[in-house]
């Protein structure tokens, strides 16, 4: 019964965070529209406004992804699958859910996903690249050299 009560508390946390994100996103979008309408001034002002628009846009993107995760968690609550790992179907520990209420993977599965570069059922497998033009030329990411200097 303690887990059920804790999940109900997490539901309330998710709803409050969802509502706060919705308000923030509505404010961010209206601020961007307002800034675009006031785009007069010298080159420095325009550059500064452009940089601020980019920061606001990136923040809105992060908030939008979090909002999507929260809405997915709320849907899983309605379906009765909330708190269960999507990969191994074991219960996600309450401590993890309290730290990250929209977690969909247990710690072990999350670590494995990070090692393999997959973060969900629909994640792309970039472990192997295939050149379909020549047929036999399979390469792995380890075969590719990148100059990051």
Does the pTM exceed 0.75?
no
The mean of the pLDDT values for the chain is 76
Q: Considering only CA atoms, which of 117, 64, 109 is closest in space to residue 84?
A: 109
Residue 69 and residue 100: Cα distance in Å, rounded? 10
> Which architecture characterizes domain 1-82 according to CATH?
Up-down Bundle (1.20)
Mean pLDDT of 62-91: 92
The tokens for 17 are: 């965070």
Q: What is the pLDDT of residue 122?
A: 44
Domain boundaries, the chain: 1-82, 83-149
Mean pLDDT of 86-97: 93
pLDDT score of 149 more than 60 = no
Q: What is the pLDDT of residue 20?
A: 87
Please report the sign of the dihedral spanned by the C-alpha atoms of residue 98, residue 7, residue 65, residue 88: positive
């Amino acid at each position: 019964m303690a887990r059920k009560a804790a999940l109900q508390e997490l539901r309330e946390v998710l709803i409050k965070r969802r509502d706060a994100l919705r308000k923030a996103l509505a404010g961010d979008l209206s601020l961007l529209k307002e800034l675009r309408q006031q785009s007069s001034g010298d080159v420095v002002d325009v550059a500064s406004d452009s940089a601020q628009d980019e920061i606001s846009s990136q923040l809105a993107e992060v908030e939008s992804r979090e909002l999507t995760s929260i809405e997915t968690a709320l849907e899983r609550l309605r379906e009765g699958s909330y708190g269960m790992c999507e990969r191994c179907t074991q219960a996600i520990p309450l401590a993890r859910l309290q730290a990250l209420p929209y977690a969909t993977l247990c710690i072990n599965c999350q670590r494995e996903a990070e090692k393999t570069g997959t973060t969900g059922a629909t994640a792309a497998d970039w472990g192997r690249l295939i050149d379909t033009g020549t047929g036999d030329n399979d390469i792995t990411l380890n075969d590719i050299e990148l100059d990051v200097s």
